[in-house]
């Protein structure tokens, strides 16, 4: 077994036996009826909740590369719909951040890294067979503000999002936690 996972499992045994989990006890429903879509960037793991003043159980936190709602019927949008219909979510915040690794992501460079790690070139070319436009699927963004606004657009105009859901677009500084509100709109029930 790799040493990192061994270390994590050992820590977990201590965590459980010393009942440290009691500090995190909450229900599965968000107390604040807010779902947040944000980036998986490690700098935001503790900074974002602290900067928002939320604790465990307050919000639903959906993390993905770039904090992007990249497809109206992808997994992030599915998660948001589940939050709305089964968890009482009334507001959605899309929070991008400066210095994001998805800004100007080069899909060609990523493909070269895949080949270097042993993925055959032929397999990359086969993505089209599965209906995947590889360049589009791995495309990052040039402007984080535009990315946040595009994600808001997907949510605001989704045919399954009911009327009256507030959708907010914010931009965060990954060092200071400072938030800038880019836009707020309420769904009209397309």
Q: How confident is the model at residue 2 (pLDDT cuts 50, 70, 90)?
A: confident
The predicted-structure confidence for 140-165, as pLDDT tens digits, reads as follows 899 999 999 999 999 999 999 999 99
Residue 189 is predicted with a pLDDT of 67
Percent of the residues in the chain that have a pLDDT greater than 70, as a whole number: 98
- pLDDT at res. 180: 97
> Which of 144, 137, 140, 141 is CA-nearest to residue 182?
144
Task: Give yes or no: residues 79 and 169 share one domain.
Answer: yes
Residue range 53-71: mean pLDDT, rounded: 95
CB 78 within 8 Å of CB 53 = no
Residue appearing with tokens 């935001």: 44
pLDDT for the residue numbered 165: 97
* 88 CB neighbour count, 10 Å cutoff: 13
Mean pLDDT of 78-89: 97
Question: Range of 95's domain?
Answer: 29-104+140-190
Per-residue pLDDT tens over the stretch 4-20: 999 999 999 999 999 98
Q: Is the domain of 41 the same as that of 129?
A: no
Q: What is the DSSP string of 100-138?
A: -TTBT--HHHHHHHHHHTT--HHHHHGGGGGT--HHHHT
Cβ atoms of 187 and 92 closer than 8 Å: no
Domain assignment present for residue 41? The answer is yes
Q: Measured between alpha carbons, how far is residue 52 from residues 10, 99, 185 in Å?
A: 32, 19, 19
Predicted local confidence at residue 27, as pLDDT: 84
Say if residue 117 is in the same domain as residue 93.
Answer: no
Domain CATH for 74: 3.40.1050.10
Q: What is the pLDDT at residue 28?
A: 86
pTM for the model stands at 0.90
- How far apart (Å, rounded) are the C-alpha atoms in residues 177 and 179? 6
pLDDT at 104: 81
pLDDT value of residue 52: 97
Q: 37 with 123, same domain? A: no
Ramachandran angles phi, psi of 180, nearest 5°: -120, 125
Which position has the higher pLDDT, 159 or 30?
159
């Amino acid at each position: 077994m790799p040493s990192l996972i061994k270390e994590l499992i050992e820590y977990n045994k201590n965590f459980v036996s010393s009942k440290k989990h009691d500090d995190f006890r909450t229900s599965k429903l968000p107390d604040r009826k807010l779902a947040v879509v944000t980036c998986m960037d490690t700098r935001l793991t503790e900074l974002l909740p602290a900067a928002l003043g939320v604790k465990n159980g307050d919000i639903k936190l959906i993390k993905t590369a770039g904090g992007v709602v990249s497809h109206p019927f992808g997994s992030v949008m599915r998660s948001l719909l589940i939050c709305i219909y089964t968890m009482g979510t009334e507001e959605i915040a899309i929070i991008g951040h400066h210095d994001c690794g998805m800004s100007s992501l080069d899909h060609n460079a990523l493909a070269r890294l895949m080949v270097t790690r042993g993925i055959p070139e032929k397999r990359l070319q086969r993505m089209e067979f599965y209906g995947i436009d590889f360049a589009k699927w791995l495309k990052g963004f040039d402007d984080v503000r535009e990315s946040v606004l595009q994600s808001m657009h997907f949510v605001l105009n989704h045919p399954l999002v009911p009327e009256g859901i507030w959708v907010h677009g914010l931009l965060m500084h990954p060092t200071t936690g400072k938030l800038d509100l880019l836009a707020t709109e309420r769904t009209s029930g397309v």
